[in-house]
Amino acid sequence: EVQLVESGGGVVRPGGSLRLSCAASGFTFDDYGMSWVRQAPGKGLEWVSGINWNGGSTGYADSVKGRFTISRDNAKNSLYLQMNSLRAEDTALYHCARDFLGGDYSRGFDPWGQGTLVTVSS
């Protein structure tokens, strides 16, 4: 069974940092691109960042560019999101999601993990 499990969320003060992790299982991790997609409480979906199968290509939403860094460790079947200079507006449930069709991150998201909650508050 394909499974994505996020961890690393929590409560952090504005300006602080967090590192999210996503553990993948049930598929050949290095065959697929991956993304982080967030959902603020009661709001819609927002793509945060994506990375291709070997980490050679990455992309970021303008709202996080320069503050967040996506990476992956194919040997550990894991995806990461380093979040620095956090702001109140970064408060959200962060989902990791696999590219539906293959090694890039531009062909849809499926499946999704259940998410890890990040709360930025003083």
Partner 1 sequence: QSVLTQPPSASGTPGQRVTISCSGSSSNIGSNYVYWYQQLPGTAPKLLIYRNNQRPSGVPDRFSGSKSGTSASLAISGLRSEDEADYYCAAWDDSLSGRWVFGGGTKLTVL
Q: Least CB distance from residue 60 to partner 1, whole Å?
A: 8
Binding mask 45-84 for partner 1 (x = CB under 8 A): xxx--x--------xxxx----------------------
Number of residues that bind partner 1 (CB under 8 A): 24
Among 35, 116, 118, 120, binds partner 1 (CB under 8 A): 35
Question: Closest by alpha carbon to 58, among 67, 40, 71?
Answer: 71
DSSP letters spanning 20-62:
EEEEEESS-GGGS-EEEEEE-TTS-EEEEEEE-TTSS-EEE-T
Q: Which stretch binds partner 1 (CB under 8 A): 16-24, 25-33, 41-49, 71-79?
A: 41-49
CA dihedral 54, 102, 63, 25 (to 10 degrees): -80
Among 52, 95, 118, 120, binds partner 1 (CB under 8 A): 95
